[in-house]
Structure 1
Amino acid sequence: MRNHRKYYVTALFAIVLALSSIARAADNEVNLYSERQAFLIDPLLKAFTKETGIKVNLVYMKKGMLERLKLEDRNSPADAILTSDIGNLHNHAKAGLLQAVASKVLEHNIPANLRDPGGLWYGLTVRARVIYAHKDRAKPGEVTSYEDLARPEMAGRVCSRSGKHIYNISLLASIIAAKGREEALVWARGLKGSLARRPQGNDRSQVKAVFEGICDFALGNTYYMGKMATNEKEPEQKQWANSVNIIFPNQKDRGTHVNISGAGVTKYAKNKANAVKLIEYLSSDTAQKQYAMGNFEYPVRANIPLHPLVAGWGQFKADTVFLAAIAEQRTEASKIMDEVGFNQ
């Protein structure tokens, strides 16, 4: 048994070294690890290859990218990563898995609040965390802010996914960044008191719950509305989407919390120059238009037209706090969710 184990370890090591050697030799290639689904980004990658001649070797993983990069260490073939949410990007940077990139193209294309001040990661698409409100049971003007959801009179009227989910942690972290820990704690406790049921499901599940009459309001990301409203495989989701309006919270003060999907160059990238070219391309007019039309997200560039469905939701004021500042509060946000027993 020990001999077999030794053989497998040796074989695995040889494979890793071989992949590493291939990565070093591939001057016209770039190796991309992505937690964004292949069907979303494959058209972009093909367009990049057509324009530059650089082949993109895509490795998609639903989860575990950070752990894999840690395990592979300097032998990793990855040159760049793509992932969603500032929390994931921040975790990769904090773990020392990314390297700083200085690019005038990226600095020009991507607003300062949507990229790491040190150049470790760059936002490529934007999504807003909004309030879904039932068209009939929610009165006009009844809720206009995140804070309104935590009022005592809202008891039993709100649905949410897990408070520990990365989307809600980032939202709470944004409140800490804006108002301080104590007010954020009061808000989280109040929101828990407003829940109609124990936190469960994903963002779409919350809209379904509103449709079914379980609650009147729910928290969710904007692009899910687009996915539900155009879902031909599960047409019942169109009914869910049609039952709610989107409320962009806090338009009279700091603005609606926004988050990103983004990219970074790995610490041990063998094809760094190509990785930078890829990220620059993903911030270009061409790629930003494809992003906007493909997943109902907002482009990071204001000059890019929105998907007609997204444009129909109306313009909104976004919170412009640096996402890096929000990321720094995520640990505290997680502690608050535990402190108030949000998921219990």
Structure 2
Amino acid sequence: MRKFVMLFAAIALFLVETGAYAGGEVVVYSARKEHLIKPLFDQFTKDTGIKVIYTTDKAPVLLQKILAEGKNTRADILMTVDAGNLWHAAEQGVLQPIKSGTLNSNIPEHLKDPKKRWFGLSVRARTIIYDSRDVQPDELSTYADLSNPKWENELCLRTSKKVYNRSLVAMLIAEKGYVETLDIVRGWVNNLAMKPTSGDTKVIEAILAGKCNVGVVNSYYLGRFVDKNGEIPVKIFWANQNSTGTHVNVSGAGVTKYAKNKENAVKLIEWLSGEKAQKIFAELNHEYPANPESKVSKLLAEWGTFKQNVINVSLAGELQDEAIKLMDEAGYK
């Protein structure tokens, strides 16, 4: 009898540690805000019966938390914005490769880690916006062209301290090399109409107030702004359409190295890559679906289609340190 009890206890422990209970809850550490993830998790639970427990914080805080917790981490999934953050987490050893035909099929190659440690789940284009009262679309072309002296005192940018512009510069380094990218960023600095802002919304507001005529933002910031304020004269322009395509980045997720419920964690990420979840992503925040079979929000459809730069977004992380060095050298604050 005693042997039977010990055997039963061992089996139960194995089931708990491997998350083998069909309804085993999934724990997510998310750098995405609650209002952007709760509707997704609620729908996943409704569809599958699998409960999702989540905690939110900034990406660096969550990464350090997982590292500090080590084998005892509660996190099954790390979800965060920007491929730079995802790459950094993977390189710190907190994520494990995912074997999933569903994810490989749903997510294009340039939007996932080459080693399959993380997958992009939504896409944001970082592109040019302009004041349609003073600028015509045919005056715009590329990120590099914003360094042209014709834009002197007309450019607004977000601070270099945030990851989004660091990732954009990292991708420019990947395409053009350090020296040419340095010239471009120096040109941006020379053309600034005001100090770099703390956020993309402030770039939109500055253009609207007539403080500058052109800027660079993540597309969903303009979508949010239009949702809140109605039609405005600040318009979107898809950069680099006659060459490499517009720079895109992702929000994404990976399974942690010491996930207690790997099976259901993979199920959640797979579900997030499917059409139902991709539609929710699009409608909640005007992000583009990572799954090319999914539809965009009504507003994004009105903006039209654009060519994405298909260089792998993992380079945003791989070249991040070079980008930071370059931006500092260029005087981009």
**What TM-score do you get using the length of structure 1 for normalisation?**
0.89
Amino acid at match of 1:158: L
Q: Which residue of 1 aligns with 2:294?
A: 304
Amino acid at match of 2:299: L
Matched, 1:341 2:319: no
C-alpha deviation, 1:206, in angstroms: 0.4
Q: Which residue of 2 aligns with 1:119?
A: 116
Bigger mean CA offset, 65-74 vs 79-88: 65-74
Q: Give 1:263's match in structure 2, choosing from 235, 253, 270.
A: 253
Matched, 1:47 2:37: no
Matched, 1:189 2:186: yes
Q: Give 1:249's match in structure 2, choosing from 230, 239, 244.
A: 239
Flag structure 1 segments of 5+ consecutive residues without an equivalent: 1-20
Q: Give 1:29's match in structure 2, choosing from 21, 25, 50.
A: 25
C-alpha deviation, 1:22, in angstroms: 12
Amino acid at match of 1:267: K
Q: Give 2:152's match in structure 1, choosing from 149, 152, 155.
A: 155
SS of structure 2 residue aligned to 1:242: coil
Give the alignment of 1:49-68 within 5 angstroms: 49-63=45-59, 64-68=61-65
Q: Which residue of 2 aligns with 1:146?
A: 143
Aligned length: 317
Q: How has the CA–CA distance of structure 1 residues 273 and 147 changed in structure 2, closer, same or farther, with 3 Å as cutoff?
A: same
Matched, 1:198 2:195: yes
Matched, 1:277 2:267: yes
Matched, 1:329 2:326: no
* 8 Å Cα contact 1:149-1:191 kept in structure 2: yes
Q: Deviations over 1:58-101 (max 9, x none)?
A: 11224511111111111110000111001110111111111111
Q: Distance in 2 between matches of 1:223 and 1:210?
A: 16
Q: Deviations over 1:208-228 (max 9, x none)?
A: 001111100111010011111
Q: Give 1:69's match in structure 2, choosing from 66, 71, 78.
A: 66
* 8 Å Cα contact 1:23-1:77 kept in structure 2: no
Q: Deviations over 1:130-167 (max 9, x none)?
A: 11100111133112110111012211110011123100
SS of structure 1 residue aligned to 2:139: coil
Q: Distance in 1 between matches of 2:201 and 2:233?
A: 12
C-alpha deviation, 1:267, in angstroms: 1.0
Q: Which residue of 2 aligns with 1:210?
A: 207
* 8 Å Cα contact 2:84-2:318 kept in structure 1: no
Matched, 1:224 2:221: yes
Q: Distance in 2 between matches of 1:25 and 1:182?
A: 50
Q: Distance in 2 between matches of 1:119 and 1:305?
A: 25
Q: Distance in 1 between matches of 2:178 and 2:156?
A: 23
Runs of 4+ in 1 over 2 A off after TM superposition: 21-27
Q: Which residue of 2 aligns with 1:13?
A: none
Amino acid at match of 2:54: L
Q: Deviations over 1:99-148 (max 9, x none)?
A: 11111110000001100111110000001001110011113311211011
SS of structure 1 residue aligned to 2:235: strand
C-alpha deviation, 1:25, in angstroms: 7.9
* 8 Å Cα contact 1:164-1:337 kept in structure 2: no
Q: Distance in 1 between matches of 2:81 and 2:318?
A: 17
Q: Distance in 2 between matches of 1:270 and 1:326?
A: 30
* 8 Å Cα contact 2:278-2:294 kept in structure 1: yes
Give the alignment of 1:97-108 within 5 angstroms: 97-108=94-105
Q: Deviations over 1:190-236 (max 9, x none)?
A: 111110111122001001001111100111010011111112xxx4x
Amino acid at match of 1:97: V
* 8 Å Cα contact 2:137-2:237 kept in structure 1: no
Q: Distance in 2 between matches of 1:167 and 1:196?
A: 20
Q: Give 1:89's match in structure 2, choosing from 54, 63, 86.
A: 86
